[in-house]
Structure 1
Amino acid sequence: MGQLPQVPHHHMPNPPPNHHFQTPSRSSSLAPGAGMMDSPGINHPANTATAGHIRGSKHGTPLGTPDSARKRQRKADHAFPGEDGDLELKNMAAKVLDIPLDEFAAKVRAIEASTDSPTIHTPTSSSGRLVVKNDSTKERQRQVFGMTWLMRACQASNSSVVPRNRIYARYVGVCADSGLKPLSPASFGKLVRIVFPNLTTRRLGMRGQSKYHYCGLKLINDDGTTSSVGSSANTPLHSHNQTFDSSFLPGTPYGSNSPASFHSQISTPLVSHPTSASTNVSTITSFLNDQSAPTLKFVPELSSLMNDKNSTTDQPLDIPDIKPFLPNDTDQDASDTLFGLYKSHCISIFESIRYVQLKRLFSLISTFHGSLTNPVLKLYTSSDLLQWVISCDSVMYKSLIQMLAKLALQEIPTLVLEQLKVLVAKYVEKLSESLSSLPMKLALVKLKMAKQFIQLVSRFVRVVETAQSANKILSHHMDRQVMYNDWTKHVNVEQIAARELPCEGDNFKFAVEVLQEKIPELLKKESSDYESFIVEWGTYIAALPSSFTSVPPRLFLLCTSALLTSALREISLAGGGGFGAWWVVRCWIDEWVGWCAELGGFVSTQFEESSLLQGTIESHHKFVKPEREDGGPDNVIPAKMTDLASESIDLLDGQFGSILNDEQNDATKK
């Protein structure tokens, strides 16, 4: 790659006094008008008079006043204190140009998965290693990645123009494929101006359909999407200094503290909804109070199917293509941006749960919709794309459940289980808060899928807790011997089966065989492997429903529970010494069979708009404010929520760092 363009320095005049805040003047490395998708109100001083006519519709605050212009004179948000952040950022990006982009993306992902900001060592061709300071943030690393991509994907070309939203759309697509959270449009626009400071921005196109273009910039390997400046000679041109492009204003001041951007976001509604926000809140809250039974289905060989999934840990989610769902007149750049952003969002949620980073998870949920630009948000909330959103969420939730399913018979640290309980308690609530201003149908389908996912996570936690207790008993020879004696001496299998099972013929005979022969056989087995007992019991029990194909899943669950209850009653009446052990094992069997049925139902369900909305909108009218169990404020994250990522937890790989060993050592000491 050729020599990087040098960054010019412009000396800004001191701003006039202001009673809100005072910012000293400084030398800026950004060209006037920097920012691909700058917040409204960031105009050149020379055009203040023109910009002064542009006002927020609600507050009436001029968007081009010195108050908003003063933001340009503050230190860039990605700069190190006391340093020229722009120049250092460009130098950092230049040093990693020789590293393959996917390799560098993997390093950034590793930093994202960590709660701290460690010293980052990136190999380079010149000095061997690039050392980034300990106080560098995750945002800083995303900026280095974004600038590196710009240097690879774009080049200066005086005869070329390219829509600036197309540059961002391509960048978002790369982030989605790499499993990274993209920068906000405004932050990415600053990077464009740092790398290509001599760009000009013009508005090209027919009236009502014009877009902002970068003049003097070419997107490499995108011959069909760029055009020359000369070919647009008859197209109305509007200087970037005279107006702003509302199509790239973030819905909320995402990554920006500009007061002007905040006022603009409040004063300009992004999407016109047929229902008010209060109506949405009422409907959503009422919906959250409803309880629905999960879908049950026993899938043959489900355990082996779950273990085959997600074998490659670094593969992004297989998000469905957005194109089949798009209306004919959809802007391609907006759809590409939405696809990339939502794919990155789903991957980020998956990674947050994978590494048990709940603070990051709840932040992602609360900020995503506000970070979408106006046209992208309109496309996202359109009825045409509702099924696509459902399909994306389905892929994400099923992948998460498949990840957890492999751990159902594995010992999991108590600290991790506590965090999963926080996830169960808070996830739907946090999601509902972020959806209150969106169209009702979109909010309800997302919440219904989230509730089904969380119900299954709750079942998973109970399965793991009861399995750990049951395994302590099943792995102990004396406990198994007492259980064996009680079962063979005090339980009349044929009498119990005849009384409790509503079946006859082959089903009845096989059930008696299982109770009389297989259970005693499992109790008599010996093994030196601590975890082999619960795995063998779980594998056998999970396969039992396939021998009773004519029995509905819910009836199978009822019969299993009835048989075990009757057997324990007989042991208790006979004064059997193994009653306590049998009670613990029985609790696990109930949870395990229920988990297998709910898991099969969830992964087999084809989520569709009609089924998700059935019986929801018409039946929810009354607002009922749910009460928090802890009695605290609604938006307070529970104090017991702890980010455990620093302990090298990876649920996908079944790794828990030193936490599990520490808990086992503590249990041994006790």
Structure 2
Amino acid sequence: AGGGGGGQSYSSPNSRAPPATPQVQWLCDNYEGAEGVSLPRCTLYYHYLLHCQEQKLEPVNAASFGKLIRSVFMGLRTRRLGTGNSKYHYYGLRIKSGSPLLRLMDEQQHMAMRQQPFSQKNVKPVQKSQGITNGTVGGIGQQQGSTLCDISAQVQQYQQFLLPDGILLEHLKAFQTLYREHCEAILDVMVNLQFTLVETLWKSFWRFSQSNDAESLNHNESEKRLPKSCLVVLCKFEPVLRWTRECDNLLYQTLVEILIPDVLRPIPALTQAIRNFAKSLENWLTGAMMNIPEEMVRIKVVCIGSFSQTLRRYTSLNHLAQAARAVLQNSAQINQMLSDLNRVDFNNEQASWVCQCEDRLIQRLEQDFKATLQQQNSLEQWATWLDSVVSQVLKPYEHNPMALPKAAKVFLLNWSFYSMVIRDLTLRSAASFGSFHLIRLLYDEYMYYLIEHRVAQARGETPIAVMAE
């Protein structure tokens, strides 16, 4: 809980407040004390980051911002209300009635109500990792099974490392604490769809400053907790690099599942925003890490590249799914597809050669595909069928995590069943060519998605981590 302060003492700015810097003035212009109300602590910090972005100011971190608020509003208290990242609230503070921030709050709530995928239930992307003791660093906690939102406290293996010169155990702990806070801040802004603030948070964490002004660094709260000189040394330290990679893979996997909880469900309002965000990520990151050792930059770029590619692939898959849904709901198109499909010679030797599949598999796929078409199934029912195809093919390897990835790759290479059908339909200029082409694109992408998740599950890793390899 925060400082005491009784009565109405927190209902107006502190008479002993610091000089009216732009930040202090902004706080006084937009917030006021009031009895019986509260604001989520993270919401205030979002508003502050937006303000800094608009005014081209370098933001302080969340801890420093908290101190600034308390210096402006006397005796402000912190209360725990609810769960998740919004559980801490400033009690006795509200947005002023004339503030433009009120409209921003309304817009955020409206967007959240429309989208509904952003449940923060069990979202803990970076939990405390075990294994730092007595000046040595243990192996990174290995994520187990499908628990995608935690770094397991279980230590995968223990290896001893001597700490680099000038680095104390306290520096290592400070890095872990700061990085966890940083990941939580990224999660918070993403859940609230404030995509552009990710660049601001990266610049803040990696101490990006165009002026390289040592004076400004000295007044930075992060600098007091972990000097940049120590941060730079730690960015070359192998255990820190591995731990950071684990954190990033888990954070990004969590974000993918929050933004696109179901690749088949329509998310039209978000699709373009997510794609634009994905395209910007690598440039934002490399720009923010200009003075950081190459070893850390490499790790971060690989992780962010995997995240960016996943977002782009999943939004493309989502777009294809909506287009295919229209075809699958059209009886005339379905009947035309069946008619054309019945003229394809599945027993042709050339067809088998193009497909590079066993005859038995081709026969089963043909029968299943025609039956599913005749039943005029929904997109979700088609997805279930594709899932069952993957299950049948990988069943012999389900207890052999070493062999399963190889078997999955072979299957993907052989999954040219639809390519063969398309080739035949093209040669005959079939009326349903366009419909088949669309369905084929969707199935290829969705099959890749299913295989990627099966391989990740078998290896006890996130799909993002598998993609990064």
With normalisation by structure 1, the TM-score equals 0.46
- Aligned residue number for residue 126 of structure 2: 319
Deviations 1:549-595 (A, max 9, x none): 3672233222223x212211222233321111111111111121122
Contact 2:118 2:191 in 1 (8 A): no
C-alpha distance in structure 2 between counterparts of 1:112 and 1:481, whole Å: 56
Counterpart CA distance in 2 for 1:416 and 1:390 is 27
Task: Flag the 1:543–1:429 CA change in 2: closer, same or farther, 3 A.
Answer: farther
**After the TM superposition, which of the residue ranges 336-345 and 404-413 deviates more from structure 2?**
336-345
Q: Does 1:534 align with 2:392?
A: no
420 and 493 in structure 1: CA distance in 2 versus 1, 3 angstrom threshold: farther
Whether 1:553 aligns to 2:394 is: no
Query: Are the counterparts in 1 of residues 334 and 373 from structure 2 also a CA contact under 8 Å?
Result: yes
Give matches, 1:25-64, under 5 Å.
29-30=16-17
Residue of structure 2 equivalent to 1:400: 255
Q: CA deviation at 1:396?
A: 0.2
Quote the residue 1:487 is aligned against: 341
Shift of 1:338: 4.1
The secondary structure found in structure 1 opposite 2:196 is helix
Q: Specify the SS of the correspondent of 1:417.
A: helix
Partner of 1:519: 369
- What amino acid does structure 2 have at the position aligned with 1:539? T
Q: What corresponds to 1:447 in structure 2?
A: 301
Letter in 1 for 2:298: L
**1:102-117 counterparts in 2 under 5 A?**
104=38, 107-109=40-42
Instruction: For residues 429-452 of structure 1, give each alpha carbon's deviation from its aligned partner in whole angstroms, at most 9, with x where no partner exists.
Output: 111111221122212111111111
Task: Give the 3 Å change call, closer, same or farther, for CA 113–599 of structure 1 in structure 2.
Answer: farther
Q: 2:220 matched to 1:365?
A: no
- Measured after TM superposition, the shift of residue 151 of structure 1 is 6.1
Q: Is the 8 A contact 1:365 1:431 kept in 2?
A: yes
Query: What aligned pairs does 1:243-392 form with structure 2 within 5 A after superposition?
Result: 313-322=120-129, 324-325=131-132, 328=135, 338-370=175-207, 372-373=222-223, 375-376=225-226, 377=228, 380-381=231-232, 382=234, 383=237, 384-392=239-247
Superposed CA deviations along residues 468-520 of structure 1, whole A, max 9, x for unmatched, are 1111101111111111111112342564653234454xxx41331121x1101
> Is the 8 Å Cα contact of residues 541 and 593 (structure 1) preserved in structure 2?
yes
RMSD: 4.5
Change (3 A) 1:311 1:324: farther
For 1:172-193, what per-residue CA distance to the aligned partner results, in whole angstroms no more than 9, with x for missing partners? Answer: xx99x963699xxxxxxxxxxx
Q: Structure 2 vs 1, CA of residues 596 and 553 (structure 1 numbering), >3 Å: closer, same or farther? A: same
> Per the alignment, in what secondary structure is the counterpart of residue 327 of structure 2?
helix
The aligned length equals 360
Partners of 1:612 and 1:379 lie apart in 2 by 31
On the 8 A contact 1:317/1:395 being kept in 2, the answer is no
Asked whether the 8 Å contact 2:275–2:315 carries over to 1, the reply is: yes
Contact between 1:320 and 1:388, CA under 8 Å: does it hold in 2?
no
Tell me, in whole angstroms, the C-alpha distance in 1 between the residues paired with 2:355 and 2:27.
74
1:565 paired to 2:402 = no
Relative distance call for 1:75 and 1:374 in structure 2 (3 A) is closer
5+ residue gaps, structure 1: 8-26, 31-71, 118-138, 154-170, 183-309, 528-532, 615-670
Letter in 1 for 2:363: V
- Aligned partner (choices 500, 504, 510) of residue 361 of structure 2: 510
Q: Which runs of 5+ in 2 are unaligned?
A: 51-61, 89-116, 136-162, 208-219, 398-405
Equivalent in the alignment of 1:64: none
Answering whether residue 282 of structure 2 is matched by residue 428 of structure 1, we say yes
The question of whether the paired residues in 2 share the 8 Å contact of 1:445 and 1:613 is answered with: no
**1:590 and 2:427 aligned:** no
Distance in 2 (CA, whole Å) between partners of 1:340 and 1:146 is 22
Superposed CA offset, 1:267-307 (max 9, x none): xxxxxxxxxxxxxxxxxxxxxxxxxxxxxxxxxxxxxxxxx
1:78 aligns with 2:24: yes
Higher helix proportion = 2
Does structure 2 retain, via aligned residues, the 8 Å contact 1:424–1:458? yes
**Counterpart check, 1:412 vs 2:263:** no
Contact 1:349 1:361 in 2 (8 A): yes
- Whole-angstrom distance in 2 between the partners of 1:447 and 1:605: 23
Question: Cα distance 1:116–1:327, how it changes in 2: closer, same or farther (>3 A)?
Answer: closer
Secondary structure class of the residue paired with 1:320: coil
TM-score by length of 2: 0.63
Matched residues in 1 for 2:65 and 2:224: separation? 27
After superposition, the C-alpha distances for 1:613-635 in whole angstroms (9 at most, x for unaligned) are 99xxxxxxxxxxxxxxxxxxxxx
Correspondences of 1:132-171 after superposition (within 5 Å): none
Rounded Cα–Cα distance in structure 2 between residues aligned with 1:369 and 1:499:
54
Distance 1:557 1:113 in 2: 43
Query: 314-323 vs 395-404, which deviates more?
Result: 314-323
**Aligned residue type for 2:85:** G
Query: Corresponding residue for 1:187?
Result: none
**Counterpart Cα distance in 1 of 2:25 and 2:76:** 19
Q: After TM superposition, give the deviation of residue 321 of structure 1 in Å.
A: 1.8
Percent identity at matched positions? 15
Q: What is the one-letter code of the residue matched to 2:425?
A: I
2:206 aligned counterpart, secondary structure: helix
The AA in structure 2 aligned to 1:521 is: A
What is the CA deviation profile of residues 61-115 of structure 1, one whole-angstrom value per residue up to 9, with x for unaligned ones?
xxxxxxxxxxx754573246888x9xx86x55xx45xx8xxxx56x444666789
Query: What is the deviation of 1:369?
Result: 1.8
Equivalence for 1:179? 85
Equivalent positions of 1:207-218 (< 5 A) are none
Assess, with a 3 A threshold, how the Cα gap between structure 1 residues 113 and 75 changes in structure 2: closer, same or farther: closer
Asked whether the equivalents of residues 125 and 184 of structure 2 are also in contact (C-alpha less than 8 Å), the reply is no
Query: Which residue identity does 1:512 align to in structure 2?
Result: Q
8 Å contact 1:424–1:454 — kept in the other structure? yes
| Pair 1:477–1:334, CA change in 2 (3 A) | same
Separation (CA, whole Å) in 1 of partners of 2:467 and 2:365: 39
Query: 1-side partners of 2:370 and 2:408: how far apart?
Result: 25
